[in-house]
Chains A and B, each alone.
Chain A
Amino acid sequence: MQAFPIAVVSVALAEIGDKTQLLSLVLAAKFRKPWPICAGILAATLVNHAIAAEVGAWLAHWLTPQVQRWLIGFSFLGVAVWALFPDKEDDNAAKGARHGVFIATVVSFFLAEMGDRTQVATAVLAAQYQPLWAVIAGTTVGMLLANVPVVFLGARFADRLPLRATRIAASLLFAALGIWILVR
């Protein structure tokens, strides 16, 4: 059961200062309805990370142990480097609320999460750790830990986050996981 805590900590740290956290801030400022925004983030993350985790676990079945070790190890190192660089918010994100705040959040969050570092991290974690549900639950809880306070407290909370320190902590964690997988 080490999959769950590793997934929670790594994704929560990687999410701080990430593009989707900035999107949460924009959504909170624009709609001022925290509950449907949080529900939208939960729904979008669950679906997105379930797909990413399924892809990661499916891929692991197709690889030889040696290739799997190199791929996962270097992917963790790649995410470690990626975590060092802050994201910018997408100007086109959080468009319109014709279908309600919940749907607007689900759609914009799902699209922003595609190819995001937390989605890539989820796929890599699922390729390495079992059971799959623990990885999905862990990464989703990690996303909520980073995003829910931002939605409820807004810029007051986001401005107080030690972005540089969390970026370095996330990077060190992913680097440690990568090195551990490569050298064990």
Chain B
Amino acid sequence: MVPSVENLKRLTSQQFVMMASGTLMVSAVLLSHDNPLGYALLLLALACGAGAFLKSRHKAS
């Protein structure tokens, strides 16, 4: 099954936080080993964090 925008829309804020935390940890390990891919994962972690915030605000309204 190919992930789609609909799949992303179904994710809860809790799932976004877990994705952000995991991605942030891997990004930190990569950056510790001077791997520039860590910056891309850092951006992904920030995006997941923003997604978690938007989801929680959407739920609250």
Q: List residues of chain A with CB under 8 Å of any chain B CB.
A: 55, 59, 62-64, 67-68, 71, 75, 78, 85-88, 114-116, 120, 123
Which one of B24, B25, B28 has the greatest number of beta carbons of chain A within 10 Å?
A: B28
Number of A-B contacts (CB under 8 A): 40
Supply 17 further A-B pairs (C-beta < 8 A) apart from A78-B49, A88-B59.
A55-B25, A62-B28, A62-B29, A67-B28, A68-B28, A71-B24, A75-B24, A85-B53, A85-B56, A87-B56, A88-B56, A88-B60, A114-B14, A114-B18, A115-B18, A120-B21, A123-B21
Q: Which interface class (under 10, 10 to 19, 20 to 34, 35 or more) fits B?
A: 10 to 19
Q: A78 vs B21: C-alpha distance in the bound complex, in angstroms?
A: 11
Q: Are A115 and B49 in contact (CB under 8 A)?
A: no
Neighbouring B residues of A85 by C-beta, 8 Å:
53, 56-57
- Contacts A88-B59, A120-B21, A123-B21 known; A115 to B15 CB distance under 8 Å? yes
- A87 CB contacts on chain B under 8 angstroms: 56
Bound Cα distance A123, B28 (Å): 14
The reply to whether A63 and B28 contact each other, CB–CB distance below 8 Å, is yes
Question: Which chain A residues lie closer than 8 Å to B29 at the CB level?
Answer: 59, 62-63
A115 to B31, CA, bound (A): 23
- B4, CB-defined interface residue at 8 Å: no
